[in-house]
């Protein structure tokens, strides 16, 4: 049986950048690997896969990760899951939360379970976000206070009262009138 040649696989980012995936790294990409190995797939020299909502910089990080882990036997042993993060992964994934989010989206889209696992572990390593500071009179913006006073003035001058019971009695009389007809 003749061996099937592996076509050149490229990933295209949301911003149009294209990156070639080296054939040894394909084992990390379960989605692409299943398409390439499909016996019904027509022979093609090149295939371009568009990865939505992921920019070129993020795809570059994804490909670095796949290239580094292309020979990992642990990916085969644990159904592609990575249970611990190595130091190299920790350094690679020292990025801001938005990039990490894009990596999770890309790994999910391309079924790269190992990257998805370490990206989730990296989320847990992110510094905890501080609770928002409460606005006090001492640090409140004068413009904000002026806007709030203007809103209160408009409500008071229009005679609107949120606790006014006349509104509820008007709606009851209208419903009674509609029932008599």
If we measure between CA atoms, which residue out of 54, 69, 64, 59 comes closest to residue 19?
A: 59
pLDDT at 97: 85
CA distance 49 to 142: 53
User: For residue 15, how far is the Cα from the chain centroid?
Assistant: 16
Question: In tens digits, what is the pLDDT along the chain, a chain of 181 residues?
Answer: 445 566 678 888 899 999 988 878 877 888 777 777 776 666 666 678 888 878 899 889 999 999 998 887 765 555 656 667 889 999 999 888 888 888 988 888 888 888 888 888 888 877 765 555 555 555 556 667 766 777 776 667 666 554 544 444 444 444 445 444 4
> What fold, for 8-125?
Potassium Channel Kv1.1; Chain A (3.30.710)
Query: What phi and psi values does residue 72 have, to the nearest 5 degrees?
Result: -70, 125
pTM of the shown model: 0.61
Domains of the chain, by residue range, sit at: 8-125
Which residues does residue 8 pair with via DSSP β-bridges, in sequence order? 46
CA distance 95 to 64: 14
């Amino acid at each position: 049986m003749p061996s099937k040649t592996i076509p050149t696989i490229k990933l295209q980012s949301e911003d149009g950048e294209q990156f070639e995936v080296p054939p040894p790294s394909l084992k990390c990409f379960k989605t692409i690997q299943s398409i390439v190995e499909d016996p019904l797939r027509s022979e093609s020299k090149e295939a371009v896969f568009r990865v939505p909502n992921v920019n070129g910089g993020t795809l570059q990080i994804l490909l670095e990760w796949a290239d580094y882990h292309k020979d990992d036997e642990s990916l085969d042993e644990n159904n592609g899951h990575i249970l611990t993060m190595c130091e190299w992964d920790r350094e690679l994934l020292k990025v801001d939360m938005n990039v990490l989010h894009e990596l999770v989206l890309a790994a999910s889209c391309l079924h790269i379970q190992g990257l998805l696992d370490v990206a989730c572990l990296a989320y847990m390593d992110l510094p905890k976000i501080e609770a928002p500071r409460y606005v006090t009179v001492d640090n409140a913006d004068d413009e904000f206070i002026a806007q709030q006073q203007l809103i209160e003035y408009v409500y008071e001058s229009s005679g609107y009262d949120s606790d006014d019971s006349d509104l509820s009695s008007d709606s009851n009389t209208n419903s009674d009138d509609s029932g008599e007809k």
